[in-house]
Amino acid sequence: MTLAELKRGQRGIIVDVSSIHIPLKLLEMGCLPGNMVELVQAAPFADPMYLNINGSHLAIRKETAIHIIIETVHE
């Protein structure tokens, strides 16, 4: 599953990041394998996506989110 497929309120763990398509700034902000990610909110048409990654809040475009592979966490 990719980060772009995450539904509002769902959580997942980042499994793989295609570093070719991911800006270095996102990697520096914690968008790394093993980190917990939650979709807080999505703008109209789901772009951009507002995320909580290990306590840090950031917004990314859906075209970037499709390159981040996650495993969902069921609570």
pLDDT digits (tens, 9 = 90+) for 7-65: 999 999 999 987 687 888 888 888 899 999 999 998 887 789 999 998 889 999 998 99
SS3 label, residue 55: coil
pTM: 0.85
Give me the CATH topology for the region 3-73: SH3 type barrels. (2.30.30)
Q: Annotate 52-64 with three-state secondary structure.
A: EECCEEEEECHHH
The answer to whether 13 and 35 are in contact (CB under 8 A) is yes
